[in-house]
Structures are given as structure tokens and as C-alpha cells.
Amino acid sequence: MDNIISWIIAFVLIFTAFWTIGYEYQKKQNRTSEEYQKDIEKQGITGNKLLQVGLLELEKFLKPNLSSSVDYLQDEKQGQTKTKKQGDDKDQTTPDLS
């Protein structure tokens, strides 16, 4: 009987370890870009911009949907999206026709 209880405890511990690993993986996969930036700041990577850019590009490569989201946010920041009420690209220069 003691042998059975020790096996049950061992299986529960192993199951809990695997469940925790899976939960952390899902949590990382479903995080927003703001949460990703906070994670980078927690890890102390903010001082090295090249590494930060590299990690963002790697994540965009691994998650194609994130790539389009980041591109949209960059376009919105520059005023190039249709949802902005400013009109055209704010960086665009118009030639003087006079």
C-alpha cells in the first residue's frame, strides 16, 4: 500500500511539472506586445537595442500574425492608416505647384 501511494505522489508531481511547463508556454504565446516589452525590460535587455530588435524580428518570423500587427501599429504611428483622421502620411511632402 505504501508503494502505491508513493507512485501516485510521483505521478502527481510529474503531471504538475508538465502542466506548469505547458501553462507557461501558452502564457508566452498569447501575450500582447506590451507584455512582451515588459518581459524584455524585466530581463534587462533594454540596454542592448540590437538584441531587442533581433528578438522582435525573430518573434515576428515565428508568428506571422504578430508581424502584420506590428506593421499596422508602425503605420498607425506614422499616420498612414485609414482609421486616422489626419489624412495622408504625415511624413509625405507635397510639391509646391505654384
- Confidence grade of residue 81 (pLDDT, cut at 50, 70, 90): low
Model pLDDT for residues 9-40, shown as the tens digit of each residue: 999 999 999 999 999 888 888 888 888 888 77
- Write the CB contacts of 44 (distance below 8 Å, at least 6 apart in sequence): none
Q: How far is C-alpha 44 from the geometric centre of its chain's CA atoms?
A: 16
Higher confidence at residue 77 or residue 13?
13
| pTM score over 0.75 | no
pLDDT at residue 40 in the model: 74
Average of per-residue pLDDT values in the chain = 76
Provide the CB-side half-sphere exposure for 62 (13 A, CA).
8
67 vs 71: CA distance, rounded Å: 6
pLDDT at residue 10 in the model: 95
